[in-house]
Amino acid sequence: MDTTAQRKMETERPEPSGPSQSASPRLTLSGISKSFPGVRALHNVSLSLYPGQVTALIGENGAGKSTLVKIMTGIYQPDSGEISIDGQATTLPSAHAAFGHGITAIHQETVLFDDLSVAENIFLGHAPRTRLGTIDWRTMRKNAREVLETMRAGHIDADARLKDLGIANKHLVAVARAMSIDARIVIMDEPTAALSMKEIEELFLLIEFLKSEGKAVLFISHKFDEIYRIADRYTVFRDGEMVGEGLLKDTSQNEIVRMMVGRNVDHIFPRREPKIGAPVLSVSGLSHPTEFDDIGFELRKGEILGFYGLVGAGRSEVMQAIAGITRTSRGAISLDGQPIAPKSAADSIEAGIVYVPEERGKQGVVIGLPIFQNVSLPSLARTSKSGVLKLAEEFTLARSYTERLDLRASSLSQDVGTLSGGNQQKVVIAKWLATAPKVIILDEPTKGIDIGSKAAVHGFMAELVAQGLSVIMVSSELPEILGMSDRVVVMREGRVAATYDNKGLDAETLVRTAAGIAA
C-alpha cells in the first residue's frame, strides 16, 4: 500500500456511527434508463451510495440489478440519466473510467486470474514499476503483503497461485485489489452464493472493515438474513423500476417483500399430510475414493427427505452417484428391494431415479430445441423403436405432461428459449416426470429463484409426494429444509453426520451438526 492510501485510512476513518441521514452520497445515479432491442431493462431508476454505509440492492431475478451493476462499472452505457460522484456529474464511458473513479465490483464467481499469484492479482493493471518501466516485483510483493495485513488477511501468501485458494480467500484477494486501487465504491454481487456459513461470517467482517474505511458498499443478495445483518440502507427494484428505498432499521422484511413482488406474499410452505409407506430407495456403504464415504440412508414412499450440509459436504456428489452420473467404489443401492448398479444416467432413468440438477440454464433445458423435444429428451428410449423416433408418441407424451403443469406456450414446437424462466422450469419438471420416475432427486431446487417461483416449486413437490413419489431434496436453505422435509439427513465432510425426524427439529441443531460443533 502506498503512503497516501495509508494516510487516508488514518485520517478518513469516520466516526463509528451507523447510517446518518446527513452524510452526502458518494455516488448518485438518477433517472437511469437502459433498453436492449425489444427489452426495457431499466426505467428511470435511482440509487445512492453513502460513504461508510452498506446499501442492499434487492429485487427478484430479472429486476435489472445486473444491468445496473454493469452501468456502474462502465460496461453498459445508460440511454438516459445522470451519474454523479461526490456531487460532480460524470460519465462512465468504459470499465477503465469506472476503475479510475474507484468503482470496483466483486462478483459471485470472482473474476480474477487463477494462474497468477495473489500479488499479481491485486496489482494487475496498476503494478508498481521500476525506473525502466518494468514491473517492480519486490515492491509489488511487499505492497501486497501490506494490503493483506491491513485487512487482517495476513494468512494469505502473496506468492500463492490464486487457484490454490478457497473461494472465501479469493474474495479476500478481490477486496485487497479494491483496497490497492483505493476503491471508494465497492459493489458485491451475491458474494455469499458459494460460501459456507463460516466463510460468510468472514466476509461480513470484511464488509465491516470496508465500512470502517469509509467505502460505499453496494451489497446484492437474495438472502434477507444477510441483508438485515450487514446493510444499512436498501433499494428495491421490480421489473426494471425502483420501487422503494430507505433505512433498513425502519423497514420490516414483509414490507420489503411486498415491494419486491408488488403484492403480499406470505411464504408459507404447503401444508401436507404425509402418507409415508415402505422404503423405496435404500443406500448403504456408498463410497467414493475422494468425495464421500460410507453413505447410508433410506427413502420411503411418499416422503420428502432433506439433505442438509455446508457447501462442499458432498451432498450433490452422492446424488450424482445414485443417478449414475459418477461411479462409486463401494456400496449398494436398492430400489423397491431390487439391488441396482447404475452405470450411466440412462440406467438410473430406466430404473426410475431421476436427478434434477441445480442451474436450470446450464443443466436443465436445452435452449434451441423445441419444447416437445426438451420434454422427451430423457425418454428417447421409450419414444423410439430401434432408434427411429415415433413423433406422434413424443408429442402425446410432451402434451400430457405440459398440460398437467399448465405450461403457457403457443405451441409445443416453440423454442424453449422463448419461454419465461418460470415456464422453462415447468418444461424441466415435465421432462423428468415424463420418465415416470419413482424417485426424484432435486438439487437446490429453489436456489437463486424469486419468491413467487419458490412457492410454486414447493407446492409442486408437495403434489409429487401426494401422488406417491418419493423426493430427495438437497438444499442449503434452512427454512426450506425445515419447511418441506419429513426427515433430514445432515452431511459433513463427505459423511452422514446425523439423520433427524423433522418433528420439533430446530435450525440450530442442523447448523451445529453440519458444522461439527458439539451441542
The residue range among 59-67, 105-113, 192-200, 474-482 that interacts with other proteins, by the rule CB under 8 A, is 59-67
Rounded least distance, CB 42 to other proteins, Å: 9
In whole angstroms, give the CA distance from residue 433 to residue 277: 21
- Positions in 387-416 near other proteins (CB under 8 A): 387-389, 391, 413, 415
* 39 binds other proteins per the rule CB under 8 A: yes
* 261 binds other proteins per the rule CB under 8 A: no
* 417 binds other proteins per the rule CB under 8 A: yes
Q: What is the DSSP letter of 161?
A: B
Rounded least distance, CB 376 to other proteins, Å: 8
In whole angstroms, give the CA distance from residue 331 to residue 325: 16
How is residue 264 written as a grid cell?
403480499
Q: What is the DSSP letter of 23?
A: S
* 345 binds other proteins per the rule CB under 8 A: yes
- Positions in 308-327 near other proteins (CB under 8 A): 323, 325
* 292 binds other proteins per the rule CB under 8 A: no
The residue range among 142-150, 172-180, 287-295, 368-376 that interacts with other proteins, by the rule CB under 8 A, is 368-376
Q: Which residues contact 369 (CB under 8 A, 6 or more apart)?
A: 377, 415, 416
At 188, which helix (H) or strand (E)? Answer: strand 185-189
Counting residues that bind other proteins (by CB under 8 A) gives: 48
* 384 binds other proteins per the rule CB under 8 A: yes
Of 368, 459, 468, 479, the residue at the interface with other proteins (CB under 8 A) is 368
* 87 binds other proteins per the rule CB under 8 A: no
Residue with cell 514499476: 129
Residue 339 vs 387, nearer CB to other proteins: 387
Which of 440, 417, 334, 326 lies closest to 370, judged by CA? 417
- 3-state secondary structure string, 25-68? CCEEEEEEEEEECCEEEEEEEEEEECCCCEEEEECCCCCCHHHH
Rounded least distance, CB 226 to other proteins, Å: 24
- What one-character-per-residue DSSP string does 484-509 give? H-SEEEEEETTEEEEEEESSS--HHH
Of 23, 30, 33, 40, the residue at the interface with other proteins (CB under 8 A) is 40
Let me know if 116 is exposed, middle or buried by CB neighbors in 10 A (0-12, 13-18, 19+).
Answer: middle
Rounded least distance, CB 467 to other proteins, Å: 22
Distance of CA 376 to the CA centre of its chain: 29
- Positions in 419-438 near other proteins (CB under 8 A): 420, 431
Of 51, 302, 364, 494, the residue at the interface with other proteins (CB under 8 A) is 364
Residue 52 vs 437, nearer CB to other proteins: 437
Residue 176 vs 319, nearer CB to other proteins: 319
Q: 330 with 286: CB under 8 angstroms?
A: yes
- 8 sits in the region (left: phi over 0; alpha: psi -120 to 50; else beta) called alpha
Residue 62 vs 274, nearer CB to other proteins: 62
Integer CA distances (angstroms), 449 to 153, 223, 256, 498, in order: 33, 11, 17, 29
How is residue 10 written as a grid cell?
488514518
Binding mask 219-258 for other proteins (x = CB under 8 A): --------------------xx------------------
Residue 39 vs 268, nearer CB to other proteins: 39
Rounded least distance, CB 347 to other proteins, Å: 8
Which positions lie near other proteins, rule CB under 8 A? Answer: 36-41, 62, 64, 67, 239-240, 323, 325, 344-350, 355-357, 362-370, 373, 377-378, 380-381, 384, 387-389, 391, 413, 415, 417-418, 420, 431
